[in-house]
Amino acid sequence: MAYYFYEDRQHERVHIHDAGCGYYVRGVELQARQALVAESRWHGPVPTYDGARLEASSVGLQLDRPKCCA
């Protein structure tokens, strides 16, 4: 399964989601329609959770895995 992470500059967190997560799907669609926060964006796909976690840690924000993908 692929993973994506959202660099949330507004709340200073990074959220990791799996590709099947509804928050990921709706988030990408919403971001495509409007500019939410200029510096916030989706990254991925990353093939493993550990890989997504490693890449997410490089943006310098607190890592948070939402309960929707736990």
What is the predicted pLDDT for the residue at 37? 61
User: Which residue ranges of the chain lie beneath pLDDT 70?
Assistant: 25-38, 65-70
What is the predicted pLDDT for the residue at 51? 94
DSSP string, 8-62: ETTTTEEEEEETT-HHHHHHHHHHHHS-S-TT-EEEEEESSHHHHHHHHHTT-SE
Which residues have CB under 8 Å from 11's CB, separation 6+?
A: none
What is the predicted pLDDT for the residue at 62? 92
Q: What is the domain extent for residue 26? A: 3-69
pTM higher than 0.85 for the full model?
Answer: no
How many separate domains does the chain show? Answer: 1
Residues written for the chain:
70
